[in-house]
Amino acid sequence: MKLLYEGGGELVLLIIDRKTKKLQIATSKTNYKVTEKPWKYMFDQGKERIQEKITDKMNDEDFEKVVTLSMMKIGYKKKNA
């Protein structure tokens, strides 16, 4: 799934593969250079295990809602891609 967010004068594209647990990030500040990040970056520091266990049971729609709420907490708003 690809999710696009805007905030702080930048656009952030999250490319998420839940099956292989791969996370890639591209931002307008890096000219959309795609960089791979560890899967644990999807979760709050220190809570990775429990949050991953919970989100593994979610469908893609619910997972997207959780990611969007987390991004909103740090000042990003979801944009339609």
What are the residue boundaries of the structural domains of the chain, listed by start? 2-79
Distances (CA, A) of 43 to 9, 32, 47, 67, 80: 23, 22, 7, 9, 23
Measured in whole angstroms, the distance separating CA 46 from the mean position of its chain's CA atoms is 17
Q: Which helix (H) or strand (E) holds 24?
A: strand 22-27
**pTM greater than 0.85:** yes
Segment 36-62 shows an average pLDDT of: 94
Residues 33, 10: Cα–Cα separation, whole Å: 13
Distances (CA, A) of 29 to 6, 12, 33, 50: 12, 9, 9, 32
pLDDT digits (tens, 9 = 90+) for 65-74: 999 999 999 9
pLDDT the model gives residue 80: 79
Segment 25-44 shows an average pLDDT of: 95
Residue 78 — pLDDT band, cuts 50, 70, 90? very high
pLDDT the model gives residue 81: 59
pLDDT digits (tens, 9 = 90+) for 4-31: 999 999 999 999 999 999 999 999 999 9
